[in-house]
Amino acid sequence: MLDFFAIFSKGGIVLWCFQGAGVTESFTGPVNALIRSVILQERAGNSPYSHNALNLKYKLDNEFELVFVVGFQKILTLTYVDKLIDDVQLHFRDRYKNELEQRDALKFLIRCFEFDDDFQRLLRVVEAESIAKPQKAMRTYSESQKSQKTVKSMIETKSGDKSKESTGKKNKHNKKEAGAGGGEQVEPSQASSKKAVDNRNQGLSQEEIIQKNLAEFIRRQAGGRTEKSNKSPKPQKPKGKEKRIWDMGGTSTKDLDYSGTNNKSTFNNQGQDEEFPAETQIQVGSMKGELRDVDYESSEDIDEEEEERKDMLVTLDVSRKGARKGGIGGMFGVLKGLVGSKTLTRQDMEPVLEKMKDHLIAKNVAADIASQLCDSVARKLEGKVMGTFTTVASMVKQALQDALVQILQPKRRVDILRDVLEAQAQHKPFVITFCGVNGVGKSTNLAKISYWLIENGFSVLIAACDTFRAGAVEQLRTHQRRLNSLHPPQQHGRPVVQLFERGYGKDAAGIAMEAIAYARNQGFDVVLVDTAGRMQDNAPLMTALAKLIAVNTPDLVLFVGEALVGNEAVDQLVKFNQALADHSMSDHPRLIDGIVLTKFDTIDDKVGAAISMTYITSQPIVFVGTGQTYNDLRSLNARAVVNALMKA
């Protein structure tokens, strides 16, 4: 049933392994993939890791730095795997405790050959227990709550309120009992008034009595006014909205459009008469080379020092109280817990992890991702011995911070400038495709990236493949003219940015193919393919996007997402990747290669979307949009983002 079970140290030494009968493939490939993709990337959640046709489950023993991994086929539903790992871990620790403490690797490997019989015995036990485990019997109708209800309780009254009738009957019954017991005395005035009301209500039906009492109640609420005095007030004429007068608003009606007077030398390669003002906020030549990192002026280090100081004062205060209460023994007992004999358990970390999870969700991290991160931290710390004068909160916070930095730091570095130079050497353009949902800023950030590439001396061809949204081509044409006005060509030279468009209603994949061929013939360095925005649930548009990518095989596929989203980011990325995989024509489908995070300047320190997106795709955030001008483009600084995320 099992394909393999392996026990190895975190240093990479395999201490013991088991392979099932008939299994020819070595377990090293799946285990290495698990280490690279999960353990080293701080993604240690509870869900199994899938590799080809196998499911892998594992458990970390942090005290002795061991990893227990079991692999089995995906098509099998093995309910005993978790119990098997727990039992094997406990038995292995107990049997080889001395060798594990002495760290004698050679002696340990020799003795591990004796573990085969123990493992087979444990495997037989858990398999037998899973088979013999009785199925939970369904409740009979007589055991359900519905059977306890009577037919009378389910009949609705004329007014449609069952509870009111039953409550009234219950109260009436209680009053009778109280009167019979003589426990409650009624004043004569109350009795006489009640008798008078009963005399007035004689001959009236129940509904008429209710209507009469309701009218009496309304009359009393109105202050006892009679119908003659209860005249409706004269309706007032609605007051019209007054015009607001702003302070220092001015009274000038002069036309403030100066766009036609600032810049007369604007380059326009399309032949239209539109001219654009000089971009006063953009400094030409300021974006040469690598992009600057996103920076935060964070007081994180100061906050950490202050928090550690408070924790230390609390700890010392506890130790003083213990000393006063229990004498010398109490003092030394507290100090013994501080200097490294405390082993962390899941129960110790649970309150801190709950606070950390709520904090991450408040910073826009998706709820599922926050839970998985906290589970990963708990697995990493469970069984570890706390250091000298270390609190649980500080250990959990440091482990979570390290995990977040590890997630944000990409497994591979996307160096676009280097890749464009390599494509130049091969006499072909470097193709980047942008995709994403509606309104996230694909066209705007495409223009920013164009400006950055132009600043570094490359020529750019923009392929207008958004043939669905009205005004999409005109928007790109406007950006193209502005970029050419900032970098006008030399005399009789070719413009640095050109737009390739075929209008609306055409096949986007065909336009992209024509644009790439045109760029190859004309010697353009980079092709930026703008696609239509589409929701992740729109199957026809997702199919069209997968077709565009599969047919044209771009060098880089960038997903453009907002920094404002939380849980939605997970759904978007999962479904975009799934659509690209489902509609691909290749055995190795092309998925998202990187992320462009837009509107980063609108979120302050709620930067959780960066964590959610990189956690889902395992791909880096290549660009970060931080403003509305062409030079508002940055690269991600993992440390700065994590500091902003952990800031209270």
pLDDT digit string (tens) for 305-361?
Answer: 455 445 444 444 444 444 444 443 443 344 444 444 578 888 888 999 999 999 999
**Residue 457 within any structural domain of the chain:** yes
Phi-psi region of 235 (alpha: psi -120 to 50; beta: other; left: phi over 0): beta
pLDDT at 45: 61
Give a yes or no: residue 252 inside a domain. Answer: no
Tokens encoding 85:
């790992």
Secondary structure (3-state) at 579 = helix
Q: Which of 408, 428, 444 is the last residue of a domain?
A: 408
Q: Is 285 among the domain residues?
A: no
Query: Do 543 and 437 belong together in one domain?
Result: yes
Spatial separation of the C-alpha atoms in residues 408 and 418, rounded to whole Å:
22
- Statement to judge: residues 369 and 435 lie in one domain: no
SS3 615: helix
Sheet order of strands, 497-500 included: 497-500, 460-465, 526-531, 430-435, 556-562, 594-598, 621-625, 633-634
Q: Please check whether residues 381 and 451 belong to one and the same domain.
A: no
- Please determine, for residue 99, whether its predicted confidence score (pLDDT) is greater than 60: yes
CATH number at residue 512: 3.40.50.300
Q: Average pLDDT for residues 265-273, to the nearest whole number?
A: 38
Contact (CB, 8 A) for 626 and 633: yes
What pTM value is reported for the model?
0.64
pLDDT at residue 96, as a whole number: 81
Residue 386 CB partners (closer than 8 Å, separation 6+) = 340, 342, 343, 344, 392, 395
Between 284 and 609, residue with greater pLDDT: 609
Closest residue by Cα to residue 558 from 590, 534, 511, 594: 594
Domain range for residue 352? 340-408
Query: pLDDT band at residue 89, thresholds of 50, 70 and 90?
Result: confident
Residues 429 and 558 in one domain: yes
Residue-wise pLDDT tens digits, 492-508:
578 889 999 988 888 99
Domain-ending residue, one of 109, 129, 149? 129
Distance of CA 348 to the CA centre of its chain: 26
Lowest mean pLDDT among 104-118, 267-281, 366-380: 267-281
Give the best-scoring range by mean pLDDT among 43-52, 443-452, 616-625. Answer: 443-452
Helix (H, G, I), strand (E, B), or coil: what is residue 514? helix
Question: Which of 203-217, 428-442, 582-596 shows the highest mean pLDDT?
Answer: 428-442
User: Edge-to-edge, what's the strand order for the sheet holding 49-51?
Assistant: 14-19, 2-9, 66-73, 54-61, 49-51
Name every residue whose Cβ is closer than 8 Å to that of residue 531 and which is 6 or more positions away in sequence.
433, 434, 435, 442, 465, 466, 508, 545, 548
The answer to whether position 155 is within a domain reads no
What the block records as the tokens of 69 is 């991994």
At 164 the pLDDT is 47
Q: How far apart are CA 9 and CA 455, in angstroms?
A: 50
Domain membership of residue 157 (yes or no) is no
Nearest by Cα to 96 from 114, 117, 76, 79: 114
Mark whether 372 and 491 lie in a shared domain: no
Please give the C-alpha separations between residue 295 and each of 174, 402, 407, 634, in angstroms, as whole numbers.
72, 19, 18, 9
| pLDDT confidence tier of residue 135, bands split at 50, 70 and 90 | low
In this prediction, residue 445 carries a pLDDT of 93
How much is the pLDDT for 236? 59
pLDDT mean over 209-215: 79
| 482 and 394 housed in the same domain | no
Q: 435 with 583, same domain? A: yes
Indicate if 430 and 567 belong to the same structural domain.
yes
**Residue 296 — very low, low, confident or very high, per pLDDT cuts 50/70/90?**
low
Token readout for 148 is: 């306890």
Average pLDDT value over all residues in the chain: 76
Phi-psi category of residue 525: left, alpha or beta, with phi > 0 → left and psi -120 to 50 → alpha = alpha
Provide the 3-class DSSP secondary structure of residue 14. strand
Comparing C-alpha atoms, which of 261, 269, 260 is closest to residue 489? 269
Q: Among 239-253, 410-424, 432-446, whose mean pLDDT is lowest?
A: 239-253
First vs last C-alpha separation in the chain: 49
Q: To 10 degrees, what angle do helices 567-582 and 539-552 make? A: 60
Residue at 25 is within a domain: yes
Average pLDDT over residues 108-119: 72
- The pLDDT of residue 462 is 95
Assigned domain for 18 exists = yes
DSSP state string for 160-195: S-HHHHHHHHHHHHHHHHHHHHT-----HHHHHHHH
CATH number of the domain residue 38 falls in: 3.30.450.60
pLDDT (0 to 100) of residue 325: 44
pLDDT of residue 585: 67
- Of 368, 389, 408, which residue sits at a domain end? 408
The pLDDT value given to residue 520? 93
Highest mean pLDDT among 31-35, 325-329, 624-628: 624-628
Q: Tell me what the mean pLDDT of segment 147-158 comes to.
A: 64
Percent of the chain with pLDDT over 90: 19
DSSP conformational letter for 291: P
Whether residues 99 and 83 share a domain: the answer is yes
Same domain, 520 and 616: yes
Q: Could you tell me if residue 247 is inside a domain?
A: no
Residues 429 and 575 in one domain: yes
> Using 50, 70 and 90 to split pLDDT, how confident is the model at 237?
low
Whether 397 and 422 share a structural domain: no
The count of domains in the chain is 3
Q: So what's the pLDDT on residue 380?
A: 85
pLDDT single digits (tens) 598-611:
998 888 888 888 88
